[in-house]
């Protein structure tokens, strides 16, 4: 995974939002939130959240510290400022000291601290964002990180891979998770990120680009670790050298040529020569014949009207949406 940060695009976003009368910090928040949300390897629709701590004028014009945090359920990929409720920072932060807080009461108390009472509900992880005392906080449910944490020895894998990060055992999102993260962060305030087992990852910085790029760097590290441990499902076969594609293609074209009513003028097909790693991996498999035969789950072929169509094998089910590990959008 690579950073897609563009200073040119940041400048354009900032100019557009400032032109519409908005704060610069909020404009950058829109840019970074969309950048994260547009990568399905980081978040799916409604998941993840980001925040920025800034100072805005209160009703009487006096400055007030606020937390602007994504609202629950909004899609990060296309988010607008309407999906960014603004909450008074200090009283929200103080809620973390309560011993317990039910979901309903937390939603009510968070709403009571909104700068605009008509704003949507702040994320269920809003208080958690206040205890991470950095200007910009990003949170995703990155596939690679969750794939590692969900392994039987996921915690060991994560601790080995990210020795400078906080690791929090699985707790369902809500106030209990905030308390667990609060204790963990206080114990290690110089950590470079926080990984929530079977849930996701937080990165932070006072600089928006640094927070975003810390996320990308950590997810990239997790992706590389996954590649390293990946089993090879197709064992390679010993291949004999041929004459290359130029020597083989005319023979194949002759084999698949289709007779027509006119003698000596068969219908010929045009070949596209593709040799991606994944294709070559399958083609060179010692079990290639079994893998592509009917009943293997790799699909059946049938010829109809001259066209070659792929048919879904009965044993292969359509992908279905599966609820997340914690059953909530957070």
Binding-site ranges for Zn ion (CB under 5 A): 200, 330
Instruction: Specify the residue, 27 or 148, whose C-beta has the smaller distance to Zn ion.
Output: 148
**259-267 long-range Cβ contacts below 8 angstroms, 24+ apart:** 267/306
Half-sphere exposure (CA, 13 Å, Cβ side) for 56?
A: 22
For the chain, what is the radius of gyration of the CA atoms? Answer: 27
What is the nearest approach in angstroms of Zn ion to the Cβ of residue 125?
Answer: 6
Q: At what angle do helices 24-37 and 7-19 cross, to 10 degrees?
A: 130
Q: How far is the CB of 73 from Zn ion (least distance, A)?
A: 12
Q: Which CB sits closer to Zn ion, 155 or 298? A: 155
Q: Name the residue nearer to Zn ion (CB basis): 215 or 330.
A: 330
Least distance CB 213 / Zn ion (angstroms): 20
Q: Which residue has the tokens 């200090």?
A: 90
The CB-nearest residue to Zn ion is: 330
Q: How far is the CB of 199 from Zn ion (least distance, A)?
A: 6
Nearest to Zn ion of 14, 219 (CB atom): 219
Helix axes 154-161, 208-229, angle to 10 degrees: 120
Rounded Cα distance between 205 and 166, Å, is 15
Instruction: Tell me which residue of 196, 80, 199 sits closest to 132, measured CA to CA.
Output: 196
Residue 110 CB, nearest distance to Zn ion (Å)? 16
Tokens of 224: 């590389």
In total, the chain counts a number of residues equal to: 330
- Measured from the CB atom, the residue of 68 and 124 that comes closer to Zn ion is 124
């Amino acid at each position: 995974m690579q950073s897609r940060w563009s200073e040119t695009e940041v400048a354009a976003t900032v100019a557009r939002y400032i032109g519409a009368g908005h704060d610069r910090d909020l404009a950058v928040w829109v840019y970074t939130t969309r950048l994260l949300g547009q990568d399905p390897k980081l978040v799916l629709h409604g998941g993840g959240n980001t925040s920025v701590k800034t100072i805005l004028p209160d009703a009487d014009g006096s400055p007030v510290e606020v937390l602007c945090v994504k609202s629950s359920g909004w899609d990060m990929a296309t988010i607008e400022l309407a999906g960014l409720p603004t909450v008074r920072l200090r009283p929200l932060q103080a809620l973390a000291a309560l011993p317990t807080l039910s979901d309903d009461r937390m939603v009510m108390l968070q709403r009571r601290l909104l700068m605009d009472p008509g704003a949507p509900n702040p994320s269920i992880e809003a208080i958690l964002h206040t205890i991470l005392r950095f200007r910009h906080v990003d949170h995703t449910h990155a596939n690679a990180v969750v794939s590692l944490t969900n392994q039987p020895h996921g915690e060991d894998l994560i601790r080995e891979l990210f020795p400078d990060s906080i690791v929090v055992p699985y707790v369902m999102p809500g106030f209990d998770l905030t308390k667990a993260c609060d204790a963990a962060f206080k114990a290690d305030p110089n950590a470079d990120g926080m990984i929530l087992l079977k849930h996701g990852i937080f990165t932070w910085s006072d600089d928006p680009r640094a927070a975003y790029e810390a996320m990308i760097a950590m997810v990239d590290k997790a992706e590389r670790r996954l590649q390293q441990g990946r089993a090879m499902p197709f064992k390679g076969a010993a291949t004999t050298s041929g004459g290359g594609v130029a020597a083989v293609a005319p023979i194949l074209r002759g084999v698949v040529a289709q007779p027509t009513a006119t003698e000596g003028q068969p219908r010929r097909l045009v070949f596209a020569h593709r040799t991606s790693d994944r294709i070559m991996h399958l083609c060179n498999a010692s079990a290639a014949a079994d893998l592509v035969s009917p009943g293997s789950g790799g699909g059946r072929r049938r010829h109809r009207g001259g066209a070659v169509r792929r048919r879904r094998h009965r044993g292969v089910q359509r992908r279905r949406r599966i609820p997340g590990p914690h059953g909530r959008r957070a």
